[in-house]
Amino acid sequence: MRFVEFLKTTVLLSAGAATALATVTVLAIAGSQMSVPSQERLVAVALGWWVLAALIGLRLGRRAEANPPIARLLAGAQASTAMPEHHPGAILLNRLWPLLLFTLIAGGLAFLAPQIPGIAVGFAIIWALAWRRQHAAVAAIEERDGVSFYVRRTSPFQPIALHRTPGFRALRPEPTNGSVT
């Protein structure tokens, strides 16, 4: 699976987890035995946290260049001349199982304490917004260097690893003698 596609999918799945957890939170609050003023207070606090989380995520994700951890990952990619095996479902499950587990546990605890998924929503929002531009940064590096990065299939408990394969380099004409055409 191409690393660019993996990053896009991670952002979308994180946003989907936030949406699912927000729905579960609202349903759990509505179905709880709390008094109406307590429910209203809990909804207001949850909404405030979600807005704060969105602001934090937007601030963290404002950079157009690759984050240092991704830059290190790209620099350490193993060179390969052949395309790696194509198993996107297995790679996504292998690499994103913590997100799935996080969502299931937080959602499952909703009916014991609706605050738990409400808090978890904020972290999923931060994650999705903080990583939202990384696929474009990696795509720019691929285009500049004429390579493609693919996620290697590794153990779910090992750090993510990449293959670097030859790709197509973008050839753009350089302006001559300072004139723009």
**Tens digits of per-residue pLDDT, 130-153?**
999 999 999 999 998 889 999 998
> Between β-strands 78-79 and 147-151, what pairing exists: parallel, antiparallel or unpaired?
unpaired
Query: Do the domain assignments include residue 58?
Result: yes
In a domain, 179, yes or no: no
pLDDT at 169 > cutoff 70: no
Residue 173 has pLDDT above 90, yes or no: no
With 90 as the cut, is the pLDDT of residue 168 above it? no
C-alpha 177/C-alpha 157 separation (Å) is 54
pLDDT at 118 over 70: yes
Q: What contacts 24+ positions apart, CB below 8 Å, involve 95-101? A: 95/6, 95/151, 95/156, 95/160, 96/10, 96/13, 97/156, 99/10, 99/13, 99/14, 99/17, 99/124
Assigned domain for 172 exists: no
Q: Given the structure tokens 């990619």, which residue do they identify?
A: 77
Residue 174 lies in a domain: no
**pLDDT confidence of residue 174:** 67
Query: Is 72 inside any structural domain?
Result: yes
| Domain, as residue range, for 118 | 3-166
- In sign, the C-alpha dihedral spanning 23, 26, 123, 107 is negative
Mean pLDDT, the chain, integer = 90
Say if 149 falls within a structural domain. Answer: yes
**173 found inside a domain:** no
- 110 vs 121: CA distance, rounded Å: 12
The count of structural domains within the chain is 1
The pLDDT of residue 181: 53
Q: Which tokens belong to 34?
A: 């709390």
The three-state secondary structure class of 82 is coil
Higher pLDDT, 120 or 177: 120
- Residue 181 resides in a domain: no
Instruction: Mean pLDDT check: name the lowest of 33-42, 93-102, 168-177.
Output: 168-177
